[in-house]
Amino acid sequence: MTMTLTFLGAAGEVTGSCHLLTVGEHQILLDCGLIQGSRQAEARNREPFPFDPGTIDAVILSHAHIDHSGRLPLLVKQGFQGPVFTHNATAELCDIMLRDAAMLQRRDAERLNKKLEARGEPLVDPLFTEADVDALMALMVPLEYGQGREALPGVRFELADAGHILGSAIVQLWLGEAEGQRKLVYSGDLGRKGMPVIQDPAYIDRADLVVMESTYGDRLHRSLPDTLEELKGIFARAIETARGNILIPAFSVGRAQELLYLLHLHAKEWDLGRWRVYLDSPMATEATRVYVRHFRLCDDEFKAFTRQHPGRHPLLSNIEFVQTTEASMELNEVDRGMIVIAGSGMCNGGRIRCHMEHNLWRDEADVIICGYQARGTPGRALVDGAQSLNIGGKPVEVRARVHTVGGLSAHADRDEMTEWYRHFADAPPVILVHGEPEAQQSFAEHLGQYSRHLVVAQRFDCLDLTALPELVWLNSGLCGESFID
């Protein structure tokens, strides 16, 4: 039986996760995410899929983040009609996130079409619409962790907790039958041990091949206790000075809920009674309700704290939820004493842009960057020390204090990923995906101490899974760089 794996996205980059698995006559996608970053990078989302969407038999989705799920409505729009297997919490979060993405696609198309019409050029359609999201949601097959399932003949799989966000999954796949069977483990995005709210990532003991993320393969995160001290210091310094506003761009799913919990847990210690704290994101508010409903998926400490304080849910108290655009705009009249958590997490859209326009130029303001910032995004520019940002078509000087708090990352760092891999028996071959080239090369050199075969995937690489444990590439000359052989 023919079994191949082709890397079509998040290969040599972080976003746009998409991998094509062929088993006999069947084709399965592992994720189908949006490419994010610069305008040039995002324009690639309009390029044709390198396969006929109508020939894909099924999708297995690792988690709800847009760089893993965001092109699924487009896949359906272009002919896909098969099942989308995923965790039930991921299905609920996708319903929220993809509808928001469809709204943004519609608005972007409307703005662009005004310019195209004025120039007499052809108009464009949104990448996908709310109706495409409706069609996708009808194909979702929600599952639990540990629930074995046959996706197609010769393809059995099971989800394990990846510890990244609510519902995030490590995908274990058993391909083929009897002696020719191969086990593939796809890490999705790996979380970290000991972080608040979410369970630790599960360890897997056996695989014939591990397809593994490498986002932070070139660094170590600050410990959680040190990170909490860092946040405490930021708030204390802001109080000691003019107590201007504090802006926290945050991903609406995962990071926002973690921040709500920490602000609740440490409110007294951090003297947060001096501040008014706002969650200015309707999507994050809806996602928070999903976290509350799926309480049983959270870690033991979070569940115990919640049981000990009935009526004061740690994600719903001490926070003012901002829903309407009008209410969000009113916050811009406040010049001090306010903490605003808002999307988008990379500052390339959403309400955080408006808050930055009104606060970045203030010496007394602070910006806390606490998540991954893709190349080409305004958030990455801030991390890299930009002196100004273009917001609403005009430059805004950066005079606020910018703090990069890497210890809140939901991605495992170099040593955490290494520890996860070393729980596999017999050091199976590894293919690295979902990382920028420098991080991947650094991680490959480090992990090569423990792996027999390790390759950094490049886009369109195609691997013969029947040859495992040998790594045999079917498109010679295109395959990724091998560090161990």
Q: Tokens representing 346?
A: 């990379």
Residue-range definition of the domain harbouring residue 233: 224-408
Nearest to 463 by CA among 1, 5, 2: 5
Report the interhelical angle of 88-118 vs 130-137 (nearest 10°): 160
The domain boundary, picked from 385, 408, 431, lies at: 408
pLDDT category of residue 313 using cuts at 50, 70 and 90:
confident
CA–CA gap between residue 97 and residue 95 (Å, rounded): 6
Q: How is residue 98 written in tokens?
A: 């993809």
Specify the pairing of strand 430-433 against strand 84-87.
unpaired
Same domain, 355 and 423: no
Residue 139 shares a structural domain with residue 43: yes
CATH number for 129:
3.60.15.10
Q: Which residue has the tokens 């609406």?
A: 252
- One domain, residues 181 and 248: no
Query: Are 352 and 247 a contacting pair, CB within 8 Å?
Result: yes
Render pLDDT for 155-208 as a digit per residue (tens, 0 to 9): 999 999 999 999 999 999 999 988 889 999 999 999 999 999 999 999 999 999
- Helix or strand or coil: residue 414? helix
What is the tens place of the pLDDT at every residue in 269-293?
999 999 999 999 999 999 999 998 9
Beta bridge partners of 150: 156
Please report the DSSP string for 72-102 in residue order. Answer: HHHHHHTT--S-EEEEHHHHHHHHHHHHHHH
Residue 86 has pLDDT above 70, yes or no: yes
Q: Residue 344 belongs to a domain with what CATH number?
A: 3.40.50.10890
Q: Are residues 391 and 430 in the same domain?
A: no
* pLDDT (average), residues 222-227: 94
Domain ends where: 345, 374, 408? 408
Judgement on whether residues 77 and 215 belong to the same structural domain of the protein: yes
194 and 154 belong to one structural domain: yes
Phi-psi sector, 483: left (phi>0), alpha (psi -120 to 50), beta: alpha
Same domain, 299 and 428: no
472, HSE (Cβ side, Cα atoms, 13 Å) = 9
Q: Same domain, yes or no, for 180 and 256?
A: no
Whether the CB-CB separation of 19 and 30 falls below 8 Å is answered with yes
Last residue of a domain, one of 373, 408, 443: 408
Tell which residue, 38, 442, 88, has the closest CA to residue 296.
Answer: 88
Judgement on whether residues 198 and 248 belong to the same structural domain of the protein = no
How do the residues of the chain divide into helix, strand and coil, expressed in percent and rounded to 5?
35, 25, 45
- Report how many domains make up the chain: 2
Same domain, 373 and 321: yes
pLDDT at res. 485: 36
Are 119 and 134 part of one and the same domain? yes
119, 264: one domain: no
- Between helix 255-265 and helix 282-293 the angle, nearest 10°, is 70
pTM score, two decimals? 0.91
